[in-house]
Structure 1
Amino acid sequence: MKVVAFERSLQGTGASRRLRNSGKTPGIVYGADKDVQLVELDHNALWHALKKEVFHSSILDIEVAGKSQQVLLRDVQYHPFKQMVLHVDFQRVDSKKKLHTKVPLHFMNQETNPAVKLAGAVITHVINELEVECLPGDLPEFIEIDLATIEAGHSMHAKDIALPKGVTLVAHVIAENPVIASATVPAAVVSGTAAEGTEGATPAA
């Protein structure tokens, strides 16, 4: 995904306010052992880009003064109540160095899960993104989570996920092994099933 930005020379609260009043958003590009670069972006274009999942989780090509560089979106500051982006941070990536970033999870096959169809189970998505480590060229836009076989009363953990080639969980995620999704049977379904069983029972002689 391509991003067009422009060089910004003025700093400070006043300069940033004037930028925002003119429909621009201030930002910075940093990392890869290079100087921090001050940039400005068209606010409306940025606002619409931020609504796309891929903008948050993929390597972006940002063009500044005719030169393109690969970056990751690292931070976004929003106005507390206005629909306004106050500031954005982009981090340069080195194709030869592994990066740590969060990747969105896409849950699949929930509707066809036997526990859902036959046992009335409800599958809850506990987390919707996962922090991984990989080279920039191996970074996936998202990770698919197959929920076809999760059983009622069971949970799926981070270590249970089949990760794409070249992608690994970061150390603290491995240590914590958080729950990704869980399948539970609501109390109303359990009690209803029990009641049906009672009604169908043959009275004792």
Structure 2
Amino acid sequence: MSEHTIKATGRSDEGKGASRRLRHAAQIPAIVYGGGSEPKSIQLEHEHIWLASQNEWFYSSILDLDIDGKVEQVLLRDMQRHPYRQLIMHLDFQRISANQALRAPVQLHFVNEETSPAGKASDVVVMKELTQVEVSCLPKDLPEFIEVDLGELTVDQIIHLSGLKLPKGVEIPQLKLGKEHDVAVVVARQGRVEAESSDADSADVPAAKVEKDAE
């Protein structure tokens, strides 16, 4: 059993009209699919799900979906939100198998930046190029987040995907595609130097070209 339980109710009425009626009743239409079983339409209480959606675990943890007393382990795969109202319109959940590896996005937590050599330098900008990464693992090994320790980060250092410390049993499928996919996660650059470089580039543009561009 996971640490997070979401209660739901099965439903038989479908279509736009049914979904509209559910939303007016403060319910969210949703679907559960996969796992060798037929897709099942469900509904959930909006207030409960809205509160859950404010937590990181809702998006990257295995959830115990309790449908009329029967519990299935699932992952949230899609969430449709209203364009401007605080309203969740629809949810997709995927059933998981305990013995089958899954892929899921996991959030990155950056720690100790302030105490690092790069973080202490006033002229250095620490850029987080990624905030989450897709991992592959068995359901029991899925981490809620991956911690990235920046305590030793120095000026001009780059931390790549391959430099992340992964929990046991967790892999990053992207790294199997070749070195060019080992992208940067964190980059520490001297901000003032970059600004001076940009100013210098602008100063090197010939006056005639500037006038031409202005035309």
TM-score scaled by structure 2?
A: 0.84
Q: 1:114 & 1:151 partners in 2: Cα distance?
A: 5
Aligned length, in residue pairs = 191
User: Which amino acid in structure 2 is aligned with residue 55 of structure 1?
Assistant: F
3-state SS of 1:168 partner: coil
Q: For residue 171 of structure 1, report the CA deviation from its aligned partner.
A: 3.5
Residue of 17, 20, 36 corresponding to 1:17: 20
User: Which amino acid in structure 1 is aligned with residue 136 of structure 2?
Assistant: E
Aligned to 1:186: 191
The answer as to 2:142 corresponding to 1:136 is no
CA contact (8 A) 2:162 2:175 kept: no
3-state SS of 1:19 partner: helix
**Which ranges of structure 2 fall in alignment gaps of 5 or more residues?**
197-215
Q: Map 1:5-154 to 2 at 5 A.
A: 5-118=8-121, 120-154=123-157
Deviation string 1:151-187 (CA, Å, 9 cap, x unpaired) is: 2112111011111000000136753112111101111
User: Which amino acid in structure 2 is aligned with residue 187 of structure 1?
Assistant: R
Aligned to 1:195: none
3-state SS of 2:89 partner: strand
Q: For residue 83 of structure 1, report the CA deviation from its aligned partner.
A: 1.2
Identity level (%): 40
User: Which amino acid in structure 2 is aligned with residue 124 of structure 1?
Assistant: M
CA contact (8 A) 1:119 1:152 kept: no
CA contact (8 A) 1:32 1:93 kept: yes
3-state SS of 2:115 partner: coil
Aligned to 1:177: 182
Q: Cα–Cα, structure 1 residues 9 and 189, in superposed 2: closer, same or farther, change >3 Å? A: closer
User: Which amino acid in structure 2 is aligned with residue 180 of structure 1?
Assistant: V
Q: For residue 82 of structure 1, report the CA deviation from its aligned partner.
A: 1.5
**Pairwise CA RMSD of aligned residues?**
1.7
Aligned to 1:197: none
Q: Cα–Cα, structure 1 residues 172 and 79, in superposed 2: closer, same or farther, change >3 Å? A: farther
Q: 2:193 & 2:184 partners in 1: Cα distance?
A: 24
